[in-house]
């Protein structure tokens, strides 16, 4: 998942980024409100971690702006401010959660996981689909008692499709989620098609994969009951 950390304390931002990258998130940082505003205007994020005490921008104003441009993102306010009124204002504006400094990175990760489950309607950590089961914590895909051997990118691609089950995702959405927002020189319209083909091939060695559909002119969909 793509995460934008908006935090003017560079050491703290780097610490959070390093931790989340180990948890398999794609992370970008912005140290000013203006820098964050520019990134949010052109990129889509799954999570935006927002410090209210920015040097050049009112954090609540940035939250309003970000909600308009990236309304599907989950927002967590990270701030040293302890006033109840600031917390309430942020939540009223649509923030999903609030965590005060100093905080545990493990707690942040747990809160992000809980928000992801709520937003995508997951009731358990395991996702069952067809004859398969995916565990995001152990990063394993099982077919009955057999583990499916997937690469990191194949796992991330499958996981994202399942989180958005029954929803058609464009090739660009899939690319940006898995590989980040900056398109490489090697990108072309068949880039995602090749990865989906390889993912299908691996899964088909274990069980049928008719649920992984191609949506003509759009992209792909995990059609799961």
Share of the chain above pLDDT 70, in %: 90
pLDDT at residue 84, as a whole number: 61
| CA atoms of 17 and 4, how far apart (whole Å) | 9
User: What is the per-residue pLDDT across 76-93, written as a single tens digit (0 to 9) for each?
Assistant: 998 776 666 666 777 788
Listed in order, strand segments (DSSP E) in the chain are: 2-6, 26-30, 47-50, 74-79, 97-100, 127-129, 132-135, 140-143, 146-148, 169-170, 212-215, 219-222
Span of 29-33, 99-103, 139-143, 208-212 with lowest mean pLDDT? 99-103
pLDDT at residue 101, as a whole number: 85
Task: For residues 104-110, give the mean pLDDT.
Answer: 90
Architecture category of domain 2-119 in CATH: 3-Layer(aba) Sandwich (3.40)
**The two domains 2-119 and 127-222 share their CATH topology (first three levels equal):** no
In this predicted structure, the answer to whether residue 199 has a pLDDT above a threshold of 70 is yes
Q: Is the full-model pTM beyond 0.85?
A: no
Q: 79 versus 57: which is more confidently predicted?
A: 57
Domain extents in the chain: 2-119, 127-222
User: What is the per-residue pLDDT across 155-184, written as a single tens digit (0 to 9) for each?
Assistant: 989 988 988 888 888 888 888 777 765 455
pLDDT at residue 180, as a whole number: 65
Q: Which CATH class is domain 127-222?
A: mainly alpha
pLDDT band at residue 53, thresholds of 50, 70 and 90? confident
User: What is the per-residue pLDDT across 122-147, written as a single tens digit (0 to 9) for each?
Assistant: 545 688 898 999 988 788 999 998 99
Tell me the average pLDDT of the chain: 86
């Amino acid at each position: 998942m793509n995460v934008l950390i908006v935090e003017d304390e560079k050491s703290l931002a780097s610490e959070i980024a390093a931790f989340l990258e180990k948890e398999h998130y794609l992370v970008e940082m912005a140290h000013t409100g203006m820098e964050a505003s520019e990134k949010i205007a052109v990129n889509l994020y799954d999570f935006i971690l927002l410090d209210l005490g920015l040097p050049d921008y009112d954090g609540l104003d940035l939250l309003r702006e970000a909600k308009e441009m990236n309304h599907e993102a989950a927002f967590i306010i990270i701030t040293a401010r302890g006033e109840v009124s600031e917390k309430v204002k942020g939540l009223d504006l649509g923030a999903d959660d609030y965590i005060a400094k100093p905080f545990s990175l493990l707690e942040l990760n747990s809160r992000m996981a809980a928000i992801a489950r709520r937003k995508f309607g997951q009731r358990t950590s395991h996702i069952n689909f067809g004859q398969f089961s995916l565990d995001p914590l152990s990063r394993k895909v099982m077919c009955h008692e057999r583990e499916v051997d997937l690469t990191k990118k194949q796992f991330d691609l499958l996981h994202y499709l399942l989180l958005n089950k029954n929803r058609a995702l464009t090739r660009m959405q899939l690319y940006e989620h898995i590989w980040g927002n900056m398109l490489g020189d090697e990108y072309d319209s068949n880039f995602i098609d090749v990865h989906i083909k390889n993912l299908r091939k691996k899964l088909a060695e274990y069980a049928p994969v008719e649920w992984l559909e191609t949506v003509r002119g759009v992209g792909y969909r995990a059609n799961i009951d």
